[in-house]
Structure 1
């Protein structure tokens, strides 16, 4: 018999888990189908393992540079196996939160297997048929290898396989200078690898403010990372001991391991989307509208499989939009104001428009305010006096974008996201009282500088001087 559900969720990563839990908690009959491990990339190969590795690498770096805060520097006794043990313990600690047992306690039926749409309103898992009133596809994405001759024959790592390493590579080549490549490249360098990052674009983090990429490149170089921007890998020559990368600039690069961080592709193969009536774009991403509806009636998609911003918090946000739309025909839409963070040192946090994007809309009427963390008291006291806060406002002073390339940038971007979402102004940020001394004051000092530039003008001073003279005369 075909059992009918209010909602069927395909994929047990962040978007699928949140979707299933929300639906179950409002009383819907929910099934979640996952062919692998619940928790998705975030738990097993993405956010949690990478941030655990970054924490170890950061402490090693701070130990070497303890003299920044008046302590004797020391070279940490690093053992890569022990570091990877820490990574595995973090995953094991968090895994029960995403387990089938927890989901079933919440009222979600968990089904293991490959899901395939047979027709609208019907889905197969092996020989089992499931009927549904609504469905959410949350199958995520997977790393892809660029078409480089010889690459697949070399010792290639991706974010899926990196965590199987048992020994630290002596020489690591990182293909891709985006967020993943920069984060992991810096981490491995701090743990003792000789790292080279190769990026085709003319700068690191090519989708961020140019100054952020330049700051990060300088920081990496100061830590011994070799950064090759404007460079393509034309071929890889595999060998038993090490591989050689042939670069477009004419150079050759020897590497004991190659980490490919050049992009990901949506996981849609085998889903039977044609039978359901859903469509994909040229990248293979499921086409959705702002309500996350696919072209198939009653079927929604969330997270990386949509080809939209590939972040765990975006997938969770998508779930909160899609579930009420799917179950109750609500009209919720995806927020246009979404922050993201590259967890390098310094962190690079972004929300809204860059300066160039804002100028394309408003021209030279755009207001730009910035502050250097070299002048921020808490950054100086912490031995981290580097980075900047850059705020972008429209001609009326409303905040429309922000980039923080600084320590703890990811912790400060939330306030700016809320301000943009609520059409707040630079003046609102300046007037809000912040605790002192904190790193979150960086954006505030930038807003203060904008107000100072607008009001500390000769005309304002003349008007103030006249008012003060008038007050003195009244006292006489």
Structure 2
């Protein structure tokens, strides 16, 4: 649907996690709203991010549980994965969600939903002008929710091969013989483990001295060791000097002289905001040195009437942060007092087991000069993990001793992504860490370990890093 010379109260560019909710909230207040999406409803999360990858992760986990079932006294034959069937299951789920959301807004009585690129082109008096395929529209307010995209590293020869990114790897229907993953951060580790469990030989190449470098070194090492025990070749502190095309795929020449022959190469390193083709310069919206749109605590840019939410503002590249951006902005535009100031970072690494993270790492807390105590236990110290026979992991709680506040947690282990949220709530409401001592958790669960964890706090030693 093309719109011609219509005027709106608000134009939203991008139907990712923040855009649709904002459109509905503002429409509910009587505003005339247009919502533009250039690719597919739901943004990265729904189409080629969180949900499709977790659907395929579930299949990989089932395969792994079947292969390791003998330790439970359950015996199976050879376990194989039909990747085409796994992808079909993923597509059925995602297509239904995407089509449901898209149909809702396409058929909405008062919100104009347009599948088209859209960019600012300047002003028409007090209104902003936005150009899209087939027309120009105006609005008093523009909200940018354009997201971010993958960018390949500057490796000679990479542009000569058909490399995969986190979009295209989800469409493979045959398991790679040897998948080489460039990048040992969240995307690379999740896909690496997933395809190893599907039956591929997997090598992860990380240029930095350790994988998931934003975590404490002991957490990084615990994750890397778990992957190595599953058969992945995890190489840290190694760069790729050149890539050549081969009959079977590609040959990667590593710094130091080693070569890797890959059937497939996944590029899982680097993302940039989608801010370069929005026409921001036509109205004077400022971006930082990385291209992220600069915003205040209510997501307002330096230009009155223009806001930026989601990955494009650099305040968190996660579905949950984007969604909350929309909630905060909707509240602010309605006269509320919600703000992004003081947001406590929280996220998960969805290897299996997962890593649930909130707040500071121990390293960050010490660098900030806090007087901290820490409790650490390996995964087999958690009763639920032992009962389920899934004891990989390292659990870590960091407390500010002077203020009696939890400042961070790194829960790598069975249901660590769920258990960490109890800590996140505690931090969010600024409750004392000592509240954990009197909390009554359910037995047996992973979260039940938190009171014991609190009782085990002590000054950190060198080995706690």
Question: Scaled by the length of structure 2, what TM-score is found?
Answer: 0.92
Q: Deviations over 1:15-72 (max 9, x none)?
A: 2222212222333221101122111111111111111111010110110000232212
Aligned counterpart for 1:5 among listed residues 3, 8, 13: 8
- Whether the 8 Å CA contact 1:378–1:438 is kept in 2: the answer is yes
Provide the residue aligned with 1:460 in structure 2.
Answer: none
2:101 to 88, 98, 101: 98
CA offsets 1:125-177 (integer angstroms, 9 cap, x no match): 23422221211100111110000000011120001211222311100000000
Q: How many Å apart are 1:198 and its aligned residue?
A: 0.3
In 2, Cα distance between equivalents of 1:329 and 1:155: 50
Q: In the alignment, what sits opposite 1:227?
A: 234
Structure 1 gap ranges (5+): 455-476
The aligned counterpart of 2:397 is: 391
Partner residue in 2 for 1:109: 112
Q: 2:448 pairs with 435, 441, 462, which one?
A: 441
CA distance in 2 between counterparts of 1:341 and 1:356 reads 18
Give the equivalent residue in structure 2 for 1:366: 372
Contact persistence 2:150–2:272 (CA under 8 A)? yes
* 1:378 equivalent among 384, 405, 414: 384
Most deviating of 232-241 and 349-358: 232-241
Work out which of the residue numbers 108, 130, 146 in structure 2 matches 1:123: 130
Residue number in structure 2 paired with 1:332: 338
Kept in 2, the 8 Å contact 1:183–1:343? The answer is yes
Task: Call closer, same or farther: CA 1:88–1:126 in 2, change over 3 Å.
Answer: closer
- Which deviates further from its counterpart, 438-447 or 162-171? 438-447
Change in Cα spacing, 1:179 to 1:100, as seen in structure 2 (3 Å) is same
Equivalent runs, 1:301-316 vs 2, <5 Å: 301-316=308-323
Residues 1:107 and 1:417: Cα distance change in structure 2 (over 3 Å): farther
Q: Which consecutive segments of 4 or more residues in structure 1 shift more than 6 A?
A: none
Please state whether the residue corresponding to 2:246 is helix, strand or coil.
coil
Which residue number corresponds to residue 463 of structure 2? none
Work out whether 1:79 is the aligned partner of 2:82. yes
Please report the RMSD computed on the Cα atoms of aligned residues, expressed in angstroms. 1.8
Structure with bigger gyration radius: 1
**Retained in 2: the 8 A contact 1:338–1:417?**
no
Name the structure 2 match of 1:140: 147
Q: For the Cα contact (< 8 Å) 1:154–1:243, is it kept in 2?
A: yes
For residues 262 and 399 of structure 1, do their structure 2 counterparts lie closer, same or farther at Cα, with a shift above 3 Å needed? same
Counterpart pick for 1:213 among 209, 220, 235: 220
**Deviation, structure 1 residue 392:** 1.1
Query: CA contact under 8 A between 1:373 and 1:442: conserved in structure 2?
Result: no
> For residues 250 and 429 of structure 2, what CA distance do their matches in structure 1 show?
52
Q: Secondary structure at the match of 2:35?
A: strand
* Paired position in structure 1 for 2:36: 33
Kindly indicate whether the alpha-carbon contact (under 8 Å) linking 2:120 and 2:283 is maintained by their aligned counterparts in 1.
yes
State the shift of 1:203 in Å: 1.1
Task: State the partner residue of 1:190.
Answer: 197
Distance 1:140 1:359 in 2: 33
Tell me the matched-pair count. Answer: 450
Question: Distance between the aligned counterparts of 2:437 and 2:70, measured in 1?
Answer: 34
Alpha carbons of 1:331 and 1:273: their partners in 2 closer, same or farther (altered >3 Å)? farther
Q: Does 1:268 align with 2:275?
A: yes
* CA distance in 2 between partners of 1:391 and 1:288 (Å): 32
Tell me by how many angstroms 1:259 deviates: 0.2
Q: Counterpart in 2 of 1:473?
A: none
The whole-number CA distance in structure 2 between the counterparts of 1:314 and 1:389 is 24
> Secondary structure of 2:456's match?
helix
Q: Which one of the candidate residues 40, 60, 64 is aligned to 2:63?
A: 60
1:176 corresponds in structure 2 to 183
Post-superposition shift, 1:426?
Answer: 2.2
| 2:325 aligned counterpart, secondary structure | helix
Report the TM-score when normalising by structure 1.
0.90
Contact 2:105 2:113 in 1 (8 A): no
Aligned counterpart for 1:351 among listed residues 350, 354, 358 = 358
Match of 1:403 in 2: 410
Residues 370 and 443, structure 1, Cα contact 8 Å, conserved in 2: no
**Whole-angstrom distance in 2 between the partners of 1:78 and 1:133:** 53
Q: Deviation at 1:346?
A: 1.9
Distance 1:324 1:397 in 2: 31
C-alpha separation in 2, matches of 1:283 and 1:84: 34
Helix, strand or coil at the partner of 1:99: helix
The aligned residue for residue 290 of structure 2 is 283
Of residues 220-229 and 160-169 in structure 1, the stretch that sits farther from structure 2 once superposed is 160-169
The secondary structure found in structure 1 opposite 2:281 is helix
- What stretches of structure 2 of length at least 5 have no aligned partner? 460-465
